Amino acid sequence: MSLAAEFSCLSDHDPDSLSADQARAFIRRQLTPVRTRERVALRGALGRVLACDLLAPFNVPGHDNSAMDGYAVRHADVANGGNTRLRVLGTALAGKAFAQPIGEGECVRIMTGAPPPVGADTVVVQEVVALDGDHIVVPPGQRLGQHIRRAGEDLAAGKPALVAGRLLRPAEIGLIASLGCAEVSVFRRLRVAFLSTGDELCSIGTPLGEGRVYDSNRYTIFGMLTRMGCEVLDLGVVRDDPATMEAAFREAAAAADVVISSGGVSVGEADFVKGLMAELGEVLFWKIAMKPGRPMAFGRLRVDGEEICGERGGAAWLFGLPGNPVAVMVTFYQFVREALYALMGADPVPVVPLLPALCTGALKKVAGRTEFQRGILSLVDGQWRVRPAAAQGSGVLRSMADANCFIVLEHDRGNVAAGDQVGVQLFDGLV
């Protein structure tokens, strides 16, 4: 089904007021992850997506071991009502088993990670034990098998330790290392080309003429893509000329899985991107009911009009973002980020949750659109409180630098009074 046909199936949609949730869900339904696999060294796998199930080659832990420092005892020796006196035979250390089995009335001092000696079936933590020469006194109430981690309790040999689609974070890297794996199979990196459009833009290192501004969008987009582990291709600033733009978009589509542009998607005389995108592929121009970031395009760009065999299918996905710096970051984090993770093969796609907080000031909000205001979240007297960053204009990039969260005001919500609860999306873990 074409994008346009799929889009027309949305119930009760208005192209001029598509909700942020509708737009996000529509994008996700179109995407098929990359499937090309490669093997990489474990330290090079951070941030990549696991391409196949990783089976545990052995039990983890590999043997029964103590979960606590204490004393390994026979549960049958411990009295149910009253103290029990046991003789200490020696000490069992992690990595060095105690060779002698224990018999009736005996026990062994045991360290965390050490295997229990033969005959022991319970560990009594050292904090509850009283020492009496070469004996200990154990209080009643000990449970059979307590504080012993069984072989295979974490991972059983031959069972999946991690399943395909898992985003490999530091914990996953450590888990793989614990299985003795020096390499891992991952999906290839997603290739993303990006560019900025506009005659008013200057690249860093060139003189700033009258009426010109330095292009910040390519640098924020580069940073966001690099943090996600994408392979990036910076195509620079493209002037407001249809022929130049067409050449740039063709180059981008031929080189990348995804193309991201900033600027040129509104309705100004020099905003050529909408028509050009439609000419080169299939694109829906959305006026999403949100602030900032109302104008955004999503679709496919054909690669020189040819159908190419393989996972790309002869096309690159396109995200035409607004030109205002804050709107670029908001639309990237609310739509592009999840889409890129889906294309990488991440399952589930990492989603940053909304957390409740009390808003310390009144906020103006128009019902019928989702707003993403920049906020500063802090813990006050055990309660999370958020206040808006000073300037909320979509061109004020400093508001993103000063803030540590988005204040997400849902579609149907109106004005917010001081003391009302709002949802916040933390930058830590997002940006």
- What is the distance between the alpha carbons of residues 334 and 298, in angstroms, rounded to a whole number? 13
Write down the pLDDT at residue 27.
Answer: 93
Residues with Cβ within 8 Å of residue 96, at least 6 apart in sequence:
114
Write down the pLDDT at residue 240.
Answer: 82
Amino acid at 302: R
Write down the pLDDT at residue 152.
Answer: 93
Give the angle 267-339-332 at the CA atoms, nearest 5°. Answer: 50
Write down the pLDDT at residue 315.
Answer: 86
Could you give the maximum distance between any two Cα atoms of the chain, in Å?
A: 93
Write down the pLDDT at residue 16.
Answer: 57
| Residue ranges of the chain whose pLDDT lies below 50 | 11, 269-270, 305-309
Distance linking the first and last C-alpha atoms of the chain = 34
- What is the distance between the alpha carbons of residues 372 and 18, in angstroms, rounded to a whole number? 16
Whose tokens are 């991952």? That residue is 186
Write down the pLDDT at residue 257.
Answer: 96
Write down the pLDDT at residue 368.
Answer: 93
The tokens describing 140, both together, are 């009643």
Which domains are present in the chain?
3-36+188-344 (3.40.980.10), 38-59+157-187 (3.90.105.10), 65-149 (2.170.190.11), 355-426 (2.40.340.10)
3-state secondary structure of 245: helix
Say what the alpha-carbon torsion angle 102, 108, 114, 116 is, to the nearest 10 degrees.
Answer: 30
Q: What is the pLDDT of residues 226-263, one digit of tens each?
A: 999 999 999 999 988 888 988 999 999 999 999 999 98
Sheet of 106-110: strand order equals 122-125, 70-73, 106-110, 84-92, 135-138, 130-132
E strand intervals along 147-278: 148-149, 160-162, 183-187, 191-197, 201-202, 213-214, 231-238, 258-262
